[in-house]
């Protein structure tokens, strides 16, 4: 078990800042044990804005290195609704529209270059992997349930989150009453970490 802290000069979505990455190796991390994952903090140059904080566990879906950039794929509250933080990015905080979480990418351009970006990316990936999140999911979508918006909701709101988190998904649309029961009865559950239903209560009842 150990704590890891790294600080770097960066540009966050184009704005100069100093960022600190704090990661914790939880007990049993090597065996897939859970932990809080740590956090990523940054403050805009000049110190006028409040410090921005992303919890790797609660806010970050995934991370990707692109040259000297680290792209943090987040699912966060609007900046003006989160009392703990204000984003460095220009225009953030306008039109908050309530406290519903939204997908957002934070691009950290590392002043130290590609090696630093790769190191930060690897460290964050290791922390995310230690959380024990599902990697393979089977999705049942009922396009006829509720207001017949099941497929639209999945494509627009749910699928992008799984893609950002690097989750492998198998999606099956139900075509008639009882179809979900047939699919579930023949499913090899060992291939998946979980089953997700996008529907009204009909699929769950089946």
Could you tell me the domains of the chain? 2-129 (2.30.29), 136-205 (3.40.50.10330)
65-109 confidence digits (pLDDT tens): 999 999 999 999 886 444 344 344 434 444 444 578 999 999 999
Active site residue 201: yes
Q: What per-residue confidence (pLDDT) applies to 201? A: 73
Q: For residue 143, give the nearest of 171, 167, 173, 172 by alpha carbon.
A: 173
Q: Which residues contact 165 (CB under 8 A, 6 or more apart)?
A: 61, 62, 73, 133
149-195 confidence digits (pLDDT tens): 888 989 999 999 999 999 999 999 999 888 988 998 899 999 999 99
* Catalytic pick among 105, 115, 122, 201: 201
3-57 confidence digits (pLDDT tens): 689 999 999 999 999 999 998 765 444 444 445 679 999 998 775 667 899 999 9
Q: What is the pTM of this model?
A: 0.80
Copy the structure tokens of residue 98: 């309530």
Question: What is the spatial distance between Cα 1 and Cα 33, in angstroms, rounded to a whole number?
Answer: 12
Q: What per-residue confidence (pLDDT) applies to 132? A: 92
């Amino acid at each position: 078990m150990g704590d890891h802290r790294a600080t770097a000069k960066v540009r966050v979505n184009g704005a100069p800042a100093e960022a600190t990455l704090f990661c914790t190796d939880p007990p049993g991390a090597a065996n897939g044990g859970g932990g809080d994952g740590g956090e990523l903090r940054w403050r805009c140059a000049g110190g006028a804005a409040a410090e921005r904080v992303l919890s790797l566990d609660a806010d970050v879906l995934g991370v990707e290195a692109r040259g000297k950039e680290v792209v943090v794929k987040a699912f966060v509250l609007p900046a003006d609704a989160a009392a703990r933080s204000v984003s460095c990015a220009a225009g953030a905080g306008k039109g908050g529209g309530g406290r519903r979480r939204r997908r957002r990418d934070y691009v950290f351009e590392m002043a130290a270059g590609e090696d630093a970006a790769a190191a930060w990316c690897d460290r964050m990936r290791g922390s995310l992997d230690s959380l024990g999140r599902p990697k393979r999911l089977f999705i049942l979508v009922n396009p006829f349930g509720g207001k017949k918006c099941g497929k639209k909701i999945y494509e627009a709101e749910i699928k992008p989150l799984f893609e950002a988190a690097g989750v492998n998904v198998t999606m099956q649309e139900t075509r008639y009453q009882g179809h979900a029961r047939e699919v579930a009865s023949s499913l090899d559950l060992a291939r998946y970490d979980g089953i997700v239903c996008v529907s009204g209560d009909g699929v769950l009842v089946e």
